[in-house]
Structure 1
């Protein structure tokens, strides 16, 4: 018996990295909208029902009676495939952006838009890069990267909102936005994709940090982190300065506010509850929980209002790129698994600082998991992390134009340990050999 298109689509979606419902049976797949973007390529929004959960995803659907061999790995059915991988027709996305085209009709209309004052090379050919969990990125030549948000949530994506606002302010620390695609879902303008400058000659912050750590681990005994050729401290300082500049630009571009001491106390209690829940799941945390309780006591003792603003929300070394001239911050969409309202909510910029500090610890220690010389290298890991954390904070103070006060330091410490508590649970569930990394934060 021949399977219906929806049945074929169901089986294909279940195998995709960006599908969020793995481990649960798909009960129904429904095509909610289909809009032709170019001959042989349509844009689909499909609804996937799993029990009480219904999620929407977008697909660029290619149709061909004879699917080329180069596209067999993304074949969906006998004559259909994932056209995001088809460089012969994805140029239609560029042309539609350049033309500010509206395709389709009614609630199914796709709106292609470009930033004022930019030119788009519509002749660039695409290549899908990486193995992203929740998105698919197409690089067009060496000029653009177009990120398709596979799992759709009604509303404007924070990344589009932030990078366009910062671009209009002339920010030096973002990749230039060129255009985007949107539609309406449940009556709300909803971001489908964003296209930005492709940083073809930039280096990933995580990779640069790991190179520095490897250089230190490979050096002779007694050689300090400040003496190896791959010392990262100067870059950590520049990254701290760039981070503070981005926070200042965000505060100028969007509304700001304050959190009163009574709400800060409630935050401290929430962190305690999360700690208790983590201990119940990972008893190894119990022996060092006193460090976190002390930090939460200091947090609850804050007597002044805490400034809040728009922030990055998922900040770590993997979210920054080093160009020949400066650091660039990427992926302002926040935690993809969180509701859109939470990702757009105002928060302390020290949340981002805490995230980066934890990232330095991970860079220093993750190679020690299962390492035969882990015990002897522990001191070097501590030295590298401490040196680069201090350099980042010094750069952040320089960029902010002031040093952190005592209450800000208490807030930062609590936020960092709160993130470490989350990491303990995550590693215990997913990577038990990495559990010592977040546990070290409590020593």
Structure 2
């Protein structure tokens, strides 16, 4: 391969063929691989770029690979129905032999092809290769299919030591010298990624609640570029909201003050997004479409997760109530760009006590076009309310009073900044919370089956609430209405 081989060719085709048996075993074990439980039927190489020549010691190979898998709907399903191929970003280190310290990163030993006799491994665990990524981002330019860009006023010093973050989610992250953090997207799609678009827009607004991008990595696509990674300032000494919440629960401590501060921070970010990007008013047609989208997702989720099916009829009523409000014209709602996947793990509390919001990618399982649509701010609020419930249910026994206090405090803090309490729109809020819990059930069934009972418990309660007699409007905003 040349030093920047990019387009699939006979040579790169042989490379992928030689890696195929290794990737089939390695990929499904990765936390960020979305196709767990389904066999891989085929790989297709999108691009291959040598960041360091593979004949070097070590070499570094950047791959974009499409992965095809069958759609499994039941025990009798055949393999002739496939899901659309997912594209994954892989960073592959190449060595003659793997040092013992890198043994956990092993992908395998290549038997034939251009890398015959060499050992390949996950490159992010190798400090030397991880450091190279930052050096490439420091110097904007092109390497094969890859584009390295830097914000105009960003200063990125050389020689920052890299380390991987232990808690991998649907992406991978590297911290450099406790100064910057590089988020690398693993499952990538063409188009503008909100995790770059929205922080850039917020930076233009001077919003200090979100770290401003310093540099980013993209790749050429057939029609649109693919955003592969974003470098942002690292909030040194910060703790994420999920960890703080679990600590408070373990100690039996109140978390309402933090929840209230989080509500204020969320409202500030929403205000900045509304100022930076277009907003739209939701009329009858838009509300009905919103409700229909939720209904469609519920139907798809019930097909994918059989445990959801008993709740489906009752949960539909939350979406019907939303559609009925639209039909009656009794709405004055606005849609705007939002975070899209807001929960305690997406919030950082700095040592100063200030809260920041991160990870604006949205729900990765949803199409990119949908994630970039304006949405009611209630979508983010519902995500946080669900997150307090998640934290409370992680305790044994679970702590419903703790969750309710946090939920109420969060809405109060949000109202203090926005001037509008989310609880005064219970139909909108309940519909979004139901939609979020349905999404969570699908996510957990695919990625963390042991956690599936958490969203199912919430859906059981939401379904029971839907079947209960309607309350008087004057009491419709009590905290216990939003379990």
Confirm or deny a common fold (TM above 0.5). Answer: yes
Q: Select the residue among 412, 432, 437 that pairs with 1:394.
A: 412
Equivalent residue, structure 2, for 1:29: 43
> d(CA) in 2 for partners of 1:384 and 1:215?
12
Aligned to 2:86: 55
1:102-131 superposed Cα distances (whole Å, 9 cap, x missing partner): 112xxxx21111111111122012122234
Aligned partners of 2:38, 2:298: CA distance in 1, in Å?
29
Check whether the contact 1:58–1:151 (CA below 8 A) recurs between aligned residues. yes
1:86 aligns with 2:126: yes
Write the distance in 1 (CA, Å) between the matches of 2:121 and 2:227.
Answer: 23
Offset at residue 201 of structure 1 (A): 0.6
Matched, 1:304 2:304: no
The one of 181, 184, 209 equivalent to 1:145 is 181
The question of whether the paired residues in 2 share the 8 Å contact of 1:278 and 1:424 is answered with no
Q: 2-side partners of 1:211 and 1:284: how far apart?
A: 35
Q: What secondary structure does 1:136 align onto?
A: strand
Residue number among 380, 392, 413 corresponding to 2:430 in the alignment: 413
With structure 1 as the length reference, what TM-score do the two structures score?
Answer: 0.84
SS in 1 for 2:395: helix
Match of 2:99 among 62, 65, 68: 68
Partners of 1:61 and 1:426 in 2: how far apart? 27
* Structure 2 unaligned spans of 5+: 1-16, 54-58, 71-81, 110-117, 466-483
Match of 2:142 in 1: 102
Query: 2:60 matched to which residue of 1?
Result: 41
Residue 460 of structure 2 is aligned to residue 439 of structure 1: yes
**Contact 1:149/1:193 (CA < 8 Å) preserved in 2?**
yes
Deviations 1:386-412 (A, max 9, x none): 222121111111111344595x34322
> 2: distance between equivalents of 1:179 and 1:28?
33
Matched, 1:328 2:341: no
Q: Is the 8 A contact 1:264 1:302 kept in 2?
A: no
Q: What secondary structure sits across from 1:351 in the alignment?
A: helix
Question: CA 1:274–1:164 in 2, change beyond 3 Å: closer, same or farther?
Answer: closer
Structure-1 residue corresponding to 2:345: 318
Output aligned runs, 1:117-132, within 5 Å.
117-132=153-168
Kindly tell me: are residues 273 and 64 of structure 1, through their superposed partners in 2, closer, same or farther at Cα, counting changes over 3 Å?
closer
Alpha-carbon distance in 2 for matches of 1:82, 1:273? 38
1:340 aligns with 368
Aligned-partner Cα distance in 1 for 2:297–2:344 = 25
Shift of 1:14: 3.3
Q: Secondary structure at the match of 2:87?
A: strand
Decide whether aligned partners of structure 1 residues 47 and 437 sit closer, same or farther in structure 2, where only a CA change above 3 A counts.
closer
Q: CA RMSD in A?
A: 2.9
Per the alignment, residue 11 of structure 1 pairs with: 25
Give the deviation of 1:100 after TM superposition: 0.6
Q: Per the alignment, do residues 290 and 45 of structure 1 end up closer, same or farther by CA in structure 2, a change over 3 Å counting?
A: closer
Secondary structure of residue in 1 paired with 2:339: coil
1:20 paired to 2:34: yes
Match of 2:233 in 1: 197
2:394 corresponds in structure 1 to 366
Distance, in Å, in 1 between the alignment partners of 2:179 and 2:229 is 16
1:47/1:270 Cα in 2 relative to 1: closer, same or farther (>3 Å)?
Answer: closer
Aligned residue pair count: 413
Q: Find the aligned partners of 1:131 and 1:214 in 2 and give their Cα distance.
A: 20
Q: Tell me the SS of whatever aligns to 2:178.
A: coil
Equivalent-residue separation in structure 2 for 1:417 and 1:101 (angstroms): 45
Asked if 2 retains the 8 angstrom alpha-carbon contact of 1:24 and 1:50, the reply is yes
Kindly tell me: are residues 264 and 30 of structure 1, through their superposed partners in 2, closer, same or farther at Cα, counting changes over 3 Å? closer
Alpha-carbon distance in 1 for matches of 2:319, 2:221: 44
The more displaced of 231-240 and 57-66 is 57-66
Map 1:175-214 → 2, pairs under 5 A: 175-214=211-250
Q: CA deviation at 1:242?
A: 0.6
Q: Which string of whole-angstrom CA distances, capped at 9 and with x for unpartnered residues, describes residues 282-324 of structure 1?
A: 4664797698478547644452342111111111111111112
Distance 1:414 1:302, change over 3 A: farther
Aligned to 1:164: 200
Match of 2:288 in 1: 265
